[in-house]
C-alpha cells in the first residue's frame, strides 16, 4: 500500500481507504473485514453518525478496540435525528456539533477523532459558527483535524477562504469529472487533501448493466464500459483501473471505497501493485466522453 500526507496535517493516509457505509449489521463479520483491511495496509476508515443511526460508528469502534492508535478514524456530523426518529434534519450549528461529537466519541469508543467532517453544507449555513465549533473541538483535543464532505463549489470556496480545513471529500470518477473544473486545482493549490468517493460510479465502471448516470445517457455509459474492457486486458481489474484514474490527479490523497467482501478488498488493495495506467490510456479515458460540470451551487 502507498500512503500520502493528508493536506497540511500530520495524518498519512492509505491511498485506498475504507468507506464504512458499506458495512452490514453483523459486528463479527464487520470486524473480520475491517481487520483484514488493516492487515492489508489500509489505515484510514471513514464513517458517519448518520450511517445506520449510529450503529456503524459502534461497529467500527468495537472492531478496533485495542488497536485504536494504529488506525485513523474519520466520521461526519450535521445530520440531526428528529425526536420521533422519522428522519434527519440538517443542523450545522455550533451548539449541535459540540453535542454530537460527544455521542460519536462514545459510539466509537475513543477519546479523539482523527478527522471530523461536516456531512454536507450549503452556502446559507452559518459557516463562521460551524468553523468555530470545529476549532473549539480541535483545541480541546476531541478532534485532531476537520474537513467537509461536499460537492458544492461555492461551499468549498468559502471553507478554503475562511477555515483551516484539512480535507474535502467529494464524488469523483471517470463518469463524474465535475470536480476537475475548479475544485481539485483550488484544493491542491491550498494544500488541502481530497478524499474521493464513488470511484466506481455505483458499479457502472465494474460490472453493473449500463444506465443513465448524471448527465450521461445509457449509450454513453456503455461507451466508457467498452473502453474500460479494452484497456484492462489481463493486467488489472475494472475496479483497479477506475481507482487508478481517480488517483492520477495530484490533488487526490485517498480513494474512499465501499468494501463489502474479502474479494473486493483484496482486489482494491492491489491498485498500486498492478501495472499503472499509462499516460496515453489516461488521456484516452479523459476523451471518450465530454466532461461534465456542476450545474448548481457554482
pLDDT at 84: 82
pLDDT exceeds cutoff 80 at 233: no
Grid coordinates representing 138?
480541535
pLDDT exceeds cutoff 90 at 155: yes
pLDDT at 224: 95
Residues 168, 171, 176, 181, Cα dihedral to 10°? -10
CA distance 181 to 137: 33
pLDDT at 232: 84
Q: Over range 185-204, report the average pLDDT.
A: 97
Least confident of 78-82, 156-160, 213-217: 78-82
pLDDT exceeds cutoff 90 at 63: yes
Of the residues 3, 38, 51, 188, only one is catalytic, namely 51
pLDDT at 83: 84
> Is there a catalytic annotation at residue 51?
yes
pLDDT at 296: 85
Q: Give the whole-number percent of the chain exceeding pLDDT 90.
A: 92
pLDDT band at 183 (very low <50, low <70, confident <90, very high): very high
pLDDT exceeds cutoff 90 at 110: yes
Q: Over range 2-12, report the average pLDDT.
A: 97
- The whole-chain average pLDDT of the chain stands at 95
Q: Over range 196-224, report the average pLDDT.
A: 96
pLDDT exceeds cutoff 90 at 46: yes
pLDDT at 86: 81
Q: Over range 143-154, report the average pLDDT.
A: 97
Question: 165 and 127 in contact (C-beta within 8 Å)?
Answer: no
pLDDT exceeds cutoff 80 at 291: yes
pLDDT at 85: 78
Amino acid at each position: 500500500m502507498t500512503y500520502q500526507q493528508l493536506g497540511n496535517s500530520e495524518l498519512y493516509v492509505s491511498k485506498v481507504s475504507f468507506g464504512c457505509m458499506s458495512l452490514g449489521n453483523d459486528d463479527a463479520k464487520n470486524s473480520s473485514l475491517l481487520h483484514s483491511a488493516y492487515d492489508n495496509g489500509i489505515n484510514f476508515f471513514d464513517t458517519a453518525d448518520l450511517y445506520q443511526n449510529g450503529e456503524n460508528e459502534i461497529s467500527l469502534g468495537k472492531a478496533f478496540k485495542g488497536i485504536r492508535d494504529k488506525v485513523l478514524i474519520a466520521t461526519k456530523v450535521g445530520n440531526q435525528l428528529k425526536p420521533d426518529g422519522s428522519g434527519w434534519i440538517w443542523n450545522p450549528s455550533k451548539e449541535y456539533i459540540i453535542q454530537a461529537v460527544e455521542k460519536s466519541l462514545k459510539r466509537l469508543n475513543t477519546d479523539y477523532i482523527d478527522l471530523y467532517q461536516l456531512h454536507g453544507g450549503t452556502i446559507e449555513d452559518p459557516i463562521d459558527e460551524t468553523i468555530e465549533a470545529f476549532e473549539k473541538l480541535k483545541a480541546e483535543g476531541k478532534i485532531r483535524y476537520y474537513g467537509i464532505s461536499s460537492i458544492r463549489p461555492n461551499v468549498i470556496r468559502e471553507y478554503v477562504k475562511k477555515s483551516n480545513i484539512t480535507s474535502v471529500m467529494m464524488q469523483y470518477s471517470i463518469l463524474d469529472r465535475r470536480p476537475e473544473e475548479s475544485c481539485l486545482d483550488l484544493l491542491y493549490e491550498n494544500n488541502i487533501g481530497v478524499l474521493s468517493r464513488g470511484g466506481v460510479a455505483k458499479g457502472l465502471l465494474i460490472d453493473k448493466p449500463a444506465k443513465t448516470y448524471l448527465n450521461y445517457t445509457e449509450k454513453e455509459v456503455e461507451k466508457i464500459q467498452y473502453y474500460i474492457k479494452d484497456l484492462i486486458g489481463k493486467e488489472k481489474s475494472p475496479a483497479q483501473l477506475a481507482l487508478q484514474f481517480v488517483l492520477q490527479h495530484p490533488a487526490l490523497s485517498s480513494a474512499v471505497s465501499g468494501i463489502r467482501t474479502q474479494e473486493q478488498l483484496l482486489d482494491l488493495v492491489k491498485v498500486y501493485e498492478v501495472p499503472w495506467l499509462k499516460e496515453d490510456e489516461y488521456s484516452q479515458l479523459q476523451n471518450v466522453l465530454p466532461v461534465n460540470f456542476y450545474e448548481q451551487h457554482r
